[in-house]
Amino acid sequence: MSQSEILFERAQKTTPGGVNSPVRAFKSVGGTPRFIERAHGAYVVDADGREYIDYIGSWGPMILGHGDPDVVAAIRDQAETGVSFGAPTELEIEMAELLCQRVPSMEQVRMCSSGTEATMSAIRLARGYTGRDGIIKFEGCYHGHGDSLLVKAGSGALTFGVPSSPGVPAEFVRHTHTADYNDLASVEALFQAQPDAIACVIVEPIAGNMNMVLPAPGFLQGLMDLCERHGALLILDEVMTGFRVHPGGAQGLYGLRPHLTTLGKILGGGLPVGAFGGRRDIMQKLAPVGPVYQAGTLSGNPLAMAAGLASLRKLDDPALYARLDDYTERLITGLRGAARAAGVPFSAQHLGSMFGLYFAETIPTDFKAVTACDLTAFNRFFHAMLEAGVSLAPSAYEAGFVSAVHGDAELRATLAAASAAFHKLA
Ligand code: PMP
């Protein structure tokens, strides 16, 4: 038995499914999850001492790679100074100033401890601000596991085929309306069916929880226009895309100015963090200045702020994004070529260092097309890659991520592994 198998058995005795977040359990791809002991640069190392080129990057945060010396130094220095005070610090001001500068639609920002908290809080704020209860989300988009957002969700909720979870009262989700991604008419219809009842639309600007689906030209601005016309707020959920696709997030890339934005992942440099922010008059409705309550014992945690600031400062470098884009472009081109050579129906795309792999002839542009991809082929490809030392997300419904320290050696090894894996599939 491998160490991972031994640890997985042991973990399941005291933790449901042996994991603290469902997608980690390999349920959709089958087999035993690798228990990770350490990580360095572009690699994770499992409990059996096997090294894997990492394309999960802790599901997004590790854009600088593992063990970035500046981030590690910032965490170490802060640990010696104090890890949590439950009182305001200058670090939090620095973080807020930096966020408002990089993401100009955020005139004010509030820190929290996860992406889930960020989206839950943004929804509450949108409801409090507008005095309306209805929300519109998109099928296949995942915004964390808050009650009103766990409806037709992506990521693990999709992997497990649970469109909404037991334990979420029907009365809560009565207010959650689901539209089709890249289909403005489906949103318009919901607005029209419920005049003056919709508080907000929440959307992943680039959907990364149903594999990867890009917004059609005009889709995001169209949502903004619909919200403006109907007195609702647009919440751009940039938990995944923030600082990933552009230093100013997807909104920087596409030139959008949403009413509210949610952030997480990269923002904490690998430590638990989330944030939400937006127009000043909306943010002023939050306690203690306004009536909408939101709080957190560890919100703005000094360790998370230190790690996040060190990361974000390093990310203020166009050359770094150009390098990430270049690697990912060569990765995607190489994967397409390897699949073609093996005669496997496959397509792939990337936006900066975020990518999608599809076992289908054409790139999906909506949720339905994603679910029509060949799941069995993905699962076999996933395991062949893992055996060859390449770690992809263990689900066909997740985007992949490249880090700034993935280089030529990792690219060559990945493409060699992929070529063999595609041939096995053919
Ligand atoms: N929003 C999006 C777009 C996400 O991708 C995720 C997590 N994958 C979340 C929200 C929830 O974040 P967290 O897991 O930190 O609660």
Count of other CB atoms within 10 angstroms of residue 287: 12
Whether 419 is in the pocket of ligand 1, judged by its Cβ within 6 Å, is no
pLDDT confidence of residue 168: 85
3-state SS class at 187 = helix
Strand order in the sheet with 347-351: 347-351, 354-358, 400-401
> Residues 223, 115, 117, 33: is their CA dihedral positive or negative?
positive
Angle in degrees, 0-180, between the axes of helices 318-342 and 408-425, rounded to the nearest 10: 30
Locus of tokens 């949403």: 258
Q: Which atom of ligand 1 is nearest to the CA of 59?
A: 8
What average pLDDT values come out for the chain (426 residues) when binned by 10 residues?
Answer: 98 98 95 98 98 98 98 98 98 98 98 98 98 96 92 69 72 89 97 95 97 98 98 98 97 98 98 98 98 98 98 96 98 98 98 98 96 97 98 97 98 98 96
pLDDT for the residue 240? 98
Burial group, residue 237, by CB count within 10 angstroms (0-12, 13-18, 19+): buried
Closest atom of ligand 1 to 114 CA is: 15
Q: Whose CA is nearest to atom 7 of ligand 1?
A: 144
The predicted pLDDT at position 160 comes to 54
**Does any ligand 1 atom lie closer than 6 A to the CB of residue 205?**
no
How are beta strands 198-203 and 134-138 bridged, if at all?
parallel
Ligand 1 centroid, distance to 61 Cα (angstroms): 11
Distance 155 CA to ligand 1 centre (A): 9
Give 141 Cα–ligand 1 centroid separation in angstroms.
10
Mutate to test the pocket of ligand 1, among 141, 204, 209, 262 (most ligand atoms within 8 A of CB): 209
pLDDT value of residue 156: 72
pLDDT at residue 118 in the model: 98
Choosing from 142, 149, 243, 398 the residue with most ligand 1 atoms within 8 A of its CB, the one to mutate for a pocket test is: 142
Atom in ligand 1 nearest the alpha carbon of residue 272: 15
Which atom of ligand 1 is found nearest the CA of 265? 15
pLDDT at 163: 54
| HEC assignment per residue over 96-113 | HHHHHHHCCCCCEEEEEC
- Find the angle CA(311)-CA(253)-CA(394) to the nearest 5 degrees: 65
What pLDDT was estimated at residue 71?
Answer: 98
Could you give the CA distance from residue 223 to residue 234 in angstroms, rounded to a whole number? Answer: 7
What is the Å distance from ligand 1's center to 145 Cα? 8
Length of the chain: 426
Cα–Cα distances (Å) from 95 to 80, 148, 267, 298, 426, in that order, read: 20, 29, 9, 15, 50
Q: Is 377 in the pocket of ligand 1 (CB under 6 A)?
A: no
Residue 292, strand partner residues: 286
Cβ within 8 Å of residue 175, ≥6 positions away? 133, 134, 135, 148
Q: Which residues are catalytic, by number? A: 142, 237, 265
Number of helices followed by number of strands (H, E) in the chain: 15, 14
Cα–ligand 1 centroid distance for 421 (angstroms)? 30
Pocket probe for ligand 1: among 240, 243, 262, 267, the residue whose CB has the most ligand atoms within 8 Å is: 240
3-state secondary structure of 41: strand
Determine the residue of 202, 209, 238, 239 to mutate for testing ligand 1's pocket, defined as the one with the most ligand atoms within 8 A of the Cβ atom.
239
Mode of pairing for the β-strands spanning 347-351 and 354-358: antiparallel
Q: What interface predicted TM-score (ipTM) does this complex get?
A: 0.99
Any ligand 1 atom below 6 A from CB of 305: no
Please indicate whether residue 401, judged by its CB atom, sits closer than 6 Å to ligand 1: no
How far is the centre of ligand 1, averaged over its atoms, from the C-alpha of 2 (Å)?
A: 31
- Identify the pLDDT of residue 360: 98
Residue 208 CA to ligand 1 centre (angstroms): 10
Residue with tokens 């001492």: 49
- Ligand 1 atom nearest the C-alpha of 155 is 8
CA atoms of 187 and 401, how far apart (whole Å): 30
